[in-house]
Amino acid sequence: MIMTRRVAACLAVLLLAGVAVAPVLAQKDTPTQFYMKFREAFDKATSIDDLLPYMSKKNVEQVKATPEKDRAPMFAMMHEMGVVKNLKVSKETKTATGATLEAEGVGPDGAATKGTIAIVSEGGAWKVGNESWNSGK
């Protein structure tokens, strides 16, 4: 009986330690590495639901507030307009909530484009916040 309590106590400590470490492990990537993984997922995505795990809580709430019938057309437009080829993050600046990335590439119109992306830390994981792109054409 005493041995069972010790085993249970040890398991509880290990589980709590795992919960405490999980947020640290979730951010093993730099904000830039996380964003590049998001862009890979973006390029492969077939619906907005594929991107929800990468999005900030605020952005997820906006998606969920969009009527179900409007989500597919919204995603199609977002996916078409959001294509960036030859993507390169040129600068990563730490902020109080995560980081701001400056990026460049070639937009869907074939022109050079520059972007500013907010990467935020939520629950110990990186998430994409605001993202804006400006084309040279």
For residue 120, give the nearest of 41, 57, 43, 37 by alpha carbon.
Answer: 57
State whether residue 96 is helix, strand or coil: coil
Rounded Cα distance, 45 and 108, in Å: 16
Domains and CATH numbers, the chain: 31-135 (3.10.450.630)
The string of pLDDT tens digits covering residues 27-61 is 689 999 999 999 999 999 999 999 999 999 999 99
What secondary structure does DSSP assign to 3-19, as a single string? HHHHHHHHHHHHHHHHH
State whether residue 117 is helix, strand or coil: strand
Output the pTM of the full model.
Answer: 0.78
The string of pLDDT tens digits covering residues 86-96 is 999 999 999 99
Q: What phi and psi, each to the nearest 5 degrees, are found at residue 39?
A: -65, -35
